């Protein structure tokens, strides 16, 4: 955060100008702190639901842009916040890829197990496949898997 700019004593109006400057700086500090808190909360939720965290990061980035447009933050503060949210968005995407990869690996393991069951007990295997297909549909509706992952399963 940029230090509070000090005005030289120039006679009348100094206290008023300094007070206004201090109030503006305090407001920016509060908004910066609130943004940092939001980023920390998103970071902590990232592992559980990276896709939802990414959506929230994008909303936060939009809020930061609006704050810059409204002169609620300085360009320097905005750049710092943008860098932090960009890094967090990249981390969310990485977590989502890991989650999708793990999900795909688990699905492949299940398919291998079903192949064995289908050979030995075809009716039981079909029941399990239908059950998992229903679970996939529910996961898609709950936004726990993306459409691409669901399509790959089908």
Asked whether the predicted pLDDT for residue 12 surpasses 60, the reply is no
Check if the beta carbon of residue 104 is closer than 8 Å to that of residue 149.
yes
Alpha-carbon separation of residue 97 from 40, 46, 90 (angstroms): 21, 12, 11
Check if the beta carbon of residue 72 is closer than 8 Å to that of residue 28.
yes
Q: Is residue 36 part of a domain?
A: yes
Q: Is residue 4 part of a domain?
A: no
pLDDT of residue 62: 93
Indicate whether this model's pTM tops 0.85: no
Q: Is residue 8 part of a domain?
A: no
Q: Is residue 9 part of a domain?
A: no
Q: Which domain range does residue 71 map to?
A: 16-153
Span 45-91, pLDDT tens digits: 777 888 888 999 999 899 999 989 998 888 888 898 899 899 999 99
Asked whether the predicted pLDDT for residue 146 surpasses 60, the reply is yes
> Per the structure, how many domains does the chain have?
1
């Amino acid at each position: 955060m940029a230090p509070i700019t000090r005005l030289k004593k120039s006679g009348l109006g100094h206290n008023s100008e300094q007070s206004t400057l201090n109030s503006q700086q305090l407001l920016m500090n509060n908004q910066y702190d609130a943004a940092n808190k939001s980023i920390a909360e998103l970071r902590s939720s990232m592992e559980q639901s990276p896709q939802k965290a990414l959506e929230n990061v994008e909303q936060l980035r939009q809020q930061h842009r609006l704050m810059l447009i409204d002169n609620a933050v300085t360009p320097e503060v905005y750049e710092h916040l943008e860098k932090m949210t960009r890094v967090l968005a990249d981390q969310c995407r990485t977590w989502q890829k890991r989650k999708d990869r793990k999900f795909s690996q688990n699905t492949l393991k299940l398919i291998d197990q079903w192949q064995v069951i289908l050979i030995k007990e075809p009716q039981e295997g079909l029941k399990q496949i239908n059950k998992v297909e229903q679970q996939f549909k529910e996961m898609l509706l709950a936004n726990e898997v993306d459409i691409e992952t669901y399509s790959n399963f089908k």
